[in-house]
Chains A and B, each alone.
Chain A
């Protein structure tokens, strides 16, 4: 890559000056104008760049919210009201940020499920999958810490319940909870540190992780719907990222705006809980504590198990288990459609996620509890049965044929 790149002649003097000091043309050639991308990518591959868009939007709107927000338990709630009522365009910036968070989660979840459907977590992209999951965790940290900042009733009690989960740890649980809260209950010290995490730590983490995610992606290039590695030298199979995918990503982002701005301007509170328009009160618990929709499936798993410690362990495992997916799934064939059993299991898993999210919005009683328990059982059965399913599927697909599916031509 060294020395071989010079800016094309048609660029102006400024570009040439810039290119002398920075590897601009080299970078553009390697990652954009010459980056080989499978021609067969379908629209499910657009969620990655869309996630990048929404995270960028959160950083921009977050900066302007932070310019007005006063992160203290005595002022936080009032400053949110001022942002919504008094600050010029404050309502729009806040609604963009709040609805943007929901969209970021939706897009990242879609991106993750796409990876599961097309086997994008398999070698040589295992590390790419792990870094992506770390991005998901950082996003969850952002969602949790950010939700406390408006200092409404639901903010407060969600934080109370989630921090209290650590008290399930034997012996040192209470000490850990007091350390996280900076007090005996969620209070001002909790608010200020969650603000620090939300506004400093999470964006930095996300920035680092996204650079790593893209570096890992560009090392081997995108997976594709066929699940067979493309020949990066063949113009029939690949095309440069620009112009096809830049244009496609741009159009898909604009298409998503239709839905995004419909919520921002016409139903900004659709995803939020009305209790959060009441200021936080440590002495009054809302009749029903419900997390934001993007945490509902995990919350359902927590509540489905009657024992507190086991419930917390199941809750943590339900998030952490995705890290083990590449080890649990031993089939080399990537796409689900080519796999006789996994495709049905994954489809049922998607329904299962929806069911979990649905029952979590109701008290854990009677039929809701029963559905929650069955859905929780399936959630873990899906992952834990994969090694056995893999063995059966490899036999059905033919071991040699399956191994050949995983073979790939990685340019040296």
Chain B
């Protein structure tokens, strides 16, 4: 707020009330319009306070990120030896359900026969070894867990909004927009796989 004119009117002495020498008669008009020391200090204080507040807020905001304990769940080991042909085993990975299916030769053939109608992708791009189909069991619509319900055309049916997924986990019926995602995994041996 500019209170200079009133000060001038009040006839106060310059030395005590005008640290910026704005009212100094020796300064000309142009000089007075320059950025005053007070404005500069105010601007600098506000800018640095802003940076400081943002820096102080960062740790608070970051405290909401997954903690170290949860980060430790990024990988999951699966023992494949106990899963029968044509069966599904549900594991957890990162707290999410992991669908591990040992496919029958018939299912493998059906999976390879098409690329899926809604989100086309080759079966060979979705499995590392044809017998093992490993998927994240979270419906790509709104996050429900699809039920394992094999029929002629599908392996999974989502109980929430009726999405269906085929023998490669590809969506064949909406509202799910995309296929069930394949998590990153690697085979440590023939019976052990590490997901994540």
Interface residues of A (CB under 8 A from B): 157, 160-161, 164, 178-185, 187, 189, 193, 282-289, 303, 306-308, 363-365
Contact = CB atoms under 8 A, between A and B. Distances in A.
A363 B177 CA distance: 17
A363 B67 contact: no
The size bracket of the interface on B is: 20 to 34
Contact of A289 (B90, B96, B144): B144
Given A283-B92, A307-B177, A164 B142 contact: yes
Interface of B: 64-67, 70, 73, 90, 92, 94-97, 141-145, 159-162, 174-175, 177
A182 B70 contact: yes
Nearest to B91: A283
A184 B70 contact: yes
Contacts of B175: 303, 306, 364
Contact of A287 (B70, B96, B142, B159): B159
Tell me if B's interface is mostly helix, strand, loop or mixed.
loop
9 contacts: A178-B65, A182-B67, A184-B70, A184-B95, A185-B96, A189-B70, A288-B159, A289-B142, A303-B161
Contacts of B64: 179-180, 182, 189, 193
- Chain A CB within 10 Å, residue with most, of B70, B94, B174: B70
A306 B95 contact: no
A185 B95 contact: yes
A179 B145 CA distance: 22
A308 B161 CA distance: 13
Given A184-B70, A306-B175, A289 B65 contact: no
B130 to A, nearest CB: 27
Given A184-B96, A364-B161, A161 B143 contact: yes
Contacts of B145: 283-285
A185 B96 CA distance: 6
A101 B145 CA distance: 30
A44 to B, nearest CB: 37
A189 B73 CA distance: 14
Contacts of A286: 159
B162 to A, nearest CB: 7
Contacts of A363: 161-162
A183 B66 contact: yes
Contacts of A283: 90, 92, 97, 145
B156 to A, nearest CB: 12
Contacts of B162: 363, 365
A306 B143 contact: no
A13 B67 CA distance: 59
A187 B160 contact: no
A282 B162 CA distance: 19
Contacts of B143: 160-161, 164
Given A183-B94, A189-B70, 4 more contacts: A184-B94, A285-B159, A286-B159, A363-B162
Contacts of B70: 182-184, 187, 189
Contact of B144 (A157, A308, A364): A157
Contacts, number: 71
A151 B160 CA distance: 19
Contacts of A184: 66, 70, 73, 94-96
Contacts of A282: 92, 95-97
Contacts of A181: 66
B160 A183 contact: no
B67 A289 contact: no
Most buried by A among B65, B143, B160: B143
B95 A189 contact: no
A283 B96 CA distance: 7
Contacts of B66: 178, 181-184, 189
Nearest to B176: A308
Nearest to A284: B145
A364 B160 CA distance: 10
A287 B160 CA distance: 6
A137 to B, nearest CB: 20
Which 4 A/B pairs are nearest by Cβ-Cβ distance?
Answer: A184-B94, A285-B144, A185-B95, A164-B143
Contacts of B65: 178-179, 182
A315 to B, nearest CB: 12
B139 to A, nearest CB: 8
Contacts of A285: 144-145, 159-160
A187 B95 contact: yes
A286 B147 CA distance: 11
A34 B25 CA distance: 54
A336 to B, nearest CB: 37
Nearest to B74: A184
Contact of B174 (A157, A182, A189, A306): A306
A365 to B, nearest CB: 7
Contacts of B73: 184
A304 B19 CA distance: 66
A185 B73 CA distance: 12
Nearest to B159: A287
A303 B161 CA distance: 9
Contacts of B142: 161, 164, 289
B100 to A, nearest CB: 14
Contacts of A308: 141, 177
Contacts of A178: 65-66
Contacts of A288: 159-160
Nearest to A283: B97
A183 to B, nearest CB: 5
